[in-house]
Amino acid sequence: METAAQIAHVPVVLMYLGYVYASSGRILEAQKAIDELEELSQTAYVPASSFAGIYVALGEIDNAIEWLEKSFEQGHSLLAVHFTLPPFFDPLRSHPRFHALLRKMNLEA
């Protein structure tokens, strides 16, 4: 992922890089990926879900859901795909706000 981020400095790569860092306990590097996404958002479109992915791996569930809600508000069409791909969002699945968001997206009965 580090090589991919050097080659393609794009949101999805930075999100996965931050996710990998956070998942492996490299918290400072994960925060740096968030900072890079914030910097990139000053000049390019960065989907809110990119931030959510890193926050999930950091265990910051409320921040992750907040960014997913922003993504929904932005009309991010790929957001629904992310919800169906386990185990990426597994840590969120028991949270009431996550279920409320799924209901807004008509993905939960």
Give the pLDDT of residue 55. Answer: 95
Which tens digit of pLDDT belongs to each residue from 18-41?
A: 999 999 999 999 999 999 999 999
Terminal C-alpha separation, the chain: 37
Integer CA distances (angstroms), 38 to 50, 57, 74, 83, in order: 10, 18, 16, 23
Cβ atoms of residues 56 and 89 within 8 Å: yes
Residue type, 22: A
Q: What phi, psi does 75 have (nearest 5°)?
A: 75, 30
pTM: 0.81
Cβ atoms of residues 52 and 67 within 8 Å: yes
Is the preceding peptide bond at 86 cis, omega within 30 degrees of 0? no
Which tens digit of pLDDT belongs to each residue from 78-104?
A: 555 555 555 777 888 788 888 788 787
Give the pLDDT of residue 83. Answer: 57
